[in-house]
Amino acid sequence: MRRPLVVIPTYNERENLASIVGRVRDAVSDASVLVVDDSSPDGTGELADELASRDAAVHVLHRACKAGLGAAYLEAFEWALAQGFDPIVQLDADGSHLPEQMPSLLAALEGTDPAGEPVDLVIGSRWIPGGSIENWPRHRELLSRGGSAYARWVLQLPTRDATAGYRAFRAEALRRLHLDEVHTRGYGFQVDMLWHAREAGLTVVEVPVTFVERVQGRSKMSLGIVVEAMFKVTGWGISSRLRRRRQPTSSNGSATRRSRA
């Protein structure tokens, strides 16, 4: 039986939380919500507890301090898998990911890719036909497009929107990723997970979504965060190429590839 869980990490998102949780519940009526709050000083965690007290489908994980997006998601994934939820969706609390588009991600997750393989991971993509952004300044778009293009090139990823955070995973796909090997905690977490997905042989598809700049609160993105992530991507790319050079080759001279589990 399908038990969707939508994971919403928060830090100082009190202005947005009630609205986004309500929209999720309206968009996918059978979905549960897990709010993962990093001890927000603005009272986001307390509001999350209030929402959970009024709706049994809302759950809250309180974390002791602000430890990064990746750490919040990894703890949430472990909780979700232990509770038997499947599939598991990532969603930003600031309204940039439209809950109303979630059914298209979940529908794609139940289908197959063009080669007929069952889909393991669906990415809500801004940079494929049909995808779009709203109310972004030009420099923000260039930063995002450039970061995604660099990650694709260095890591040889086929995914157009490598940094996208709107994602839906099968539970079994998360188990195959070996989450204990994902060490990135900041902005680079999304690329790190995608790289691990490629290395694990997961089937990844993209569906177009509209990304909307937040109305309430301030963006946590900065040039320094992106530069730090790109340094990590470079290291992963070098590591990946060295590992492939050490791979045994088949009788026709091509490197053997990791098969799907």
Classify residue 253: in a domain, yes or no.
no
Which residue did the predictor score with more confidence, 215 or 222? 215
Q: Is residue 257 part of a domain?
A: no
The CA distance from 169 to 154, in Å, is 24
How large is the average pLDDT for residues 119-123? 98
Does residue 225 register a pLDDT over 70? no
**Neighbouring C-beta atoms of residue 82, cutoff 10 Å:** 8
CA–CA distance, 231 with 223 (Å, rounded to integer)? 13
Quickly count: other Cβ atoms within 10 Å of residue 74's Cβ: 22
* CB within 8 Å of 241: residues ≥ 6 apart: none
Higher pLDDT, 44 or 245: 44
Q: In this predicted structure, what is the pLDDT of residue 217?
A: 52
Count of Cβ atoms closer than 10 Å to residue 239 Cβ: 12
User: Could you give the 3-state DSSP secondary structure of residue 172?
Assistant: helix
pLDDT band at 166 (very low <50, low <70, confident <90, very high): very high
In a domain, 252, yes or no: no
pLDDT score, position 258:
41
Q: What is the CATH number of the domain that holds 168?
A: 3.90.550.10
- Residue 114's Cβ-count burial label (10 Å; 0-12, 13-18, 19+) is exposed
Position 231 scores a pLDDT of: 63
The Cα–Cα gap between 108 and 206 comes to 9
Beta strand 167-169 with 88-90 is antiparallel
Q: Is residue 261 one of the residues assigned to a domain?
A: no
Provide the pLDDT for residue 147: 81
Is residue 238 very low, low, confident or very high in pLDDT (cuts 50, 70, 90)? low
Average predicted confidence (pLDDT) for the chain: 86
Interior/surface letters 185-224, b for 16+ CB within 10 angstroms, e for the rest: bbbbbbbbbbbbbbbbebbbbbbbbbbbebeebeeeeeee
| Residue 143 forms part of a structural domain | yes
Q: What is the pLDDT of residue 239?
A: 66
Across the range 50-70, mean pLDDT stands at 95
Q: Are 89 and 123 in contact (CB under 8 A)?
A: no
> Is 256 inside any structural domain?
no
Secondary structure (3-state) at 126? coil
Q: Is it the case that residue 39 has pLDDT exceeding 90?
A: yes
Span 42-57, average pLDDT:
98
Average pLDDT over residues 136-158: 83
> What is the residue range of 135's domain?
5-246
Task: Identify the helix (H) or strand (E) that includes residue 241.
Answer: helix 223-246
pLDDT computed for residue 241 by the predictor: 61
User: What is the count of structural domains for the chain?
Assistant: 1
Both structure tokens of 115 = 């080669």
Among 41, 43, 40, 21, smallest CA distance to 32 is for 21
DSSP string, 45-104: HHHHHHHHHH-TTEEEEE-SS---HHHHHHHHHHHHHHHT-BSEEE--TTS-B-GGGHHH
Q: Specify if 17 maps to a domain.
A: yes
Residue 260 in any domain: the answer is: no
pLDDT on residue 260: 39
